[in-house]
A and B are shown apart, each in its own frame.
Chain A
Amino acid sequence: MQFANGIDDTDFENLIAKSLQGKVCNRKGGQLATWSGAKTSTYVKHELLLRFLHRVSATCMALIRPHTEEPDDATVEHNAIRSQPSNPPLHEAGPWAKLCKSPKPEPVPCPERMLVCFTSRKCRSVTKLIFSRTHTSIFIALLQEPLRPNYFHPSKAAPLLDDKNSVQATIWDVRHPDTPVALLCEESVLTCACFAPSGTLCVVAGSATGLIILWDLSMVVTSRPDGHPEEPFMMGGVISNPQETVHKSTILELCPMLSSCTSPIHDKCLTFQLLSVDDCGLLAIWLVADSPLNIEGVVAHTIDTMNATAPGRDPRLICLRSLTVWSSVPTTLGGSFGQSPARERTESHLKISKDNEFGPLPPCISAFATLPGRSDEYLVSLSENSYCPPPPPYRTVV
């Protein structure tokens, strides 16, 4: 065998052959390595042996490597890529930890201690996870299905819940995973949410029935300085006037308009603007205003549970204007979108869709975001339908 540096090493060949229960011999046409099986002898050209050694080298390295690399259930290629030391900080990340504490009391024993495990029969998946930018340990988890009052029995929170007022989202502090900080109550399923861009801890969420709901959590934080309540706050929200609902279908995304809250005076107040979009393509610009503005014509409805807002605050949601995405879609790209009438999508319709009776309705918008540099512009991606190929995400100005 000749190595790349030109050195012949028959001893090495014999060592390999011996390990394979064979021997090396010379024949016409080249050097061959042989080894004996149980019944027959097999000859292998040394090129093949080299190729074999090259191929198994990664495996040998994986075997030599400490067992912490889990070589048993992963492919060699997978191991090679995962072990790339190109990003040491990420590579040194610790193991995943389960934020797994259920609210107390726990009438239905959970098979595992999970973050949101109220009954073991139905899966209540988390549909959104959003961190607060200003309070970096606080996050909200939206639930796919609401929590029912029977879970909380005999908690004092149970009487506050009924069939029309269920827990749809949970607020957590990662420093204290034993109990959620607050349980957000609403009749309809929440589909999207965002934190206020200002320094106040305020959550705005959109529902499957087109409502925009606001929760002021600043009181929760200030009243629990240790951040470790025995029982979570159960909070109803401030709802935009249900009689004048702008959106009539599922709200897909809520984006705070950052440029509306750039002055220092806004850091401590609740006033900011946000943009909502539903799956029929209707956009609405909302003003979340503190009570001092006292804009006439605003009607707010507060669910009668525990404190919904901080003392001295009376936030209102005011729709400033609305428009449709289709009005700005170029005709060359819009296809049948521009002619599509708005489809009303109620919660009951969503439940029917889940049961596959009529099949789920595909949303018309697959992704949406306002531009952080210019929050009066947005980026939207339109979904495909049976008549039109998928149009592109595009950027426009509201």
Chain B
Amino acid sequence: MTTEPRILFPSTTSMKKVAKAYQASPQSTLPDGFSGTRAVCLDFSPFFKELCVVGQLDGGCRVHHINLATPLITWPYYVFSRCTALNATCVVSDLKWSPNVPNIFFVLHANGDLHAFDLNRHDSAPVYSCALSAEVGFSESSPPLTKMAISRGLSNATELVLISSGETIFKRAMPTVNEFKERDLGEFLDRLITLAGSRSD
């Protein structure tokens, strides 16, 4: 049994600690603009088994490749605050990859804000955002516990998103591509390789 970890996904603080332990300069270890923080939830892509998206305590999220020590893409919390009224202390309560489309994942914050990312179209901000508090009408001052689940849906053209808000569960059918295109998968893979290459540089 191997018990040594094979790779690290460091946060900023722990990277400084590692750097100190190895008597290296923290400044030289930390990549520019890297703003990792404690992971509170994660989900692996059903299409790319090496890819996972991690939700952060501060409301941000990031996408990791498990063979790379630093995230491929990081979205700080203020990226989400541009889309909805998210404040800085709103934790990511759940996140899920789309089961039908490889480049789409959903992020749910504790206040009920739902964001969808499409990495093929736009990797700097969500392409779709909605505030559940406004759409279904619960108080933002005391948001209930929110959780999310996504199914492939009852047909190939839709996927089913469930969001629980306290004791109530809401469902929404999300139209997706009618048929899966190999070209889309190829584009997404190329983009990931490019991102990974830019990181390693």
Contact = CB atoms under 8 A, between A and B. Distances in A.
A binds B: yes
Contact of A123 (B135, B166, B169): B166
A93 B21 CA distance: 51
Nearest to B125: A81
Contact of A86 (B14, B46, B118, B167): B118
A128 B94 CA distance: 10
B49 A131 contact: no
Given A77-B82, A98-B136, A123 B170 contact: no
Interface stretch (B25-33, B145-153, B179-187, B188-196): B145-153
B90 to A, nearest CB: 16
A397 B1 contact: yes
B44 to A, nearest CB: 5
B87 interface: no
A86 B116 contact: no
Contacts of A366: 38-40, 57
A67 to B, nearest CB: 15
B11 A126 contact: no
B180 to A, nearest CB: 13
B63 interface: no
Interface string A119-145: 000011111111100001101010010
Interface string A247-260: 00000000000000
B52 A397 contact: no
A129 B41 contact: no
Interface string B160-180: 101110111111111111000
B9 A90 contact: no
Contacts of A92: 175
A140 B63 CA distance: 27
B9 A392 contact: yes
Interface string A337-364: 0000000000000000000000000000
B150 to A, nearest CB: 7
A73 B66 CA distance: 42
B42 interface: yes
Q: Is the interface of B mostly helix, strand, loop or mixed?
A: mixed
A301 interface: no
A122 to B, nearest CB: 9
Contacts, number: 223
Contacts of A158: none
A43 interface: no
B88 interface: no
B142 to A, nearest CB: 10
A381 B169 contact: no
A99 B170 contact: yes
A73 B85 CA distance: 12
Interface string B1-44: 11111111111011101100110000000000000111111111
Contact of B129 (A82, A124, A392, A396): A82
A327 interface: yes
B49 A372 contact: yes
B8 to A, nearest CB: 5
Interface stretch (A11-19, A237-245, A328-336): A328-336
A22 interface: no
A333 B2 CA distance: 18
B7 A394 contact: yes
Given A96-B171, A115-B167, A328 B5 contact: yes
Contacts of B84: 78
B145 A144 contact: yes
Contacts of A73: 134
Report which residue of B1, B152, B169 has the largest number of chain A beta carbons within 10 angstroms of its beta carbon: B169
Q: Give the 9 A-B residue pairs with the shortest CB-CB distance, closest first.
A: A373-B49, A126-B164, A129-B149, A381-B39, A328-B3, A332-B21, A87-B127, A131-B151, A125-B145
27 contacts: A78-B83, A82-B128, A89-B174, A89-B177, A90-B128, A93-B172, A96-B170, A98-B168, A98-B171, A116-B168, A123-B166, A125-B144, A126-B169, A129-B147, A129-B169, A131-B162, A137-B154, A139-B151, A332-B18, A333-B18, A367-B42, A379-B52, A389-B13, A390-B11, A392-B8, A393-B54, A398-B1
Interface of A: 73, 77-78, 81-82, 84, 86-87, 89-100, 112, 114-117, 123-131, 136-137, 139, 141, 144, 172, 174-175, 323, 327-330, 332-333, 366-367, 369, 371-373, 377, 379, 381, 383-384, 389-398
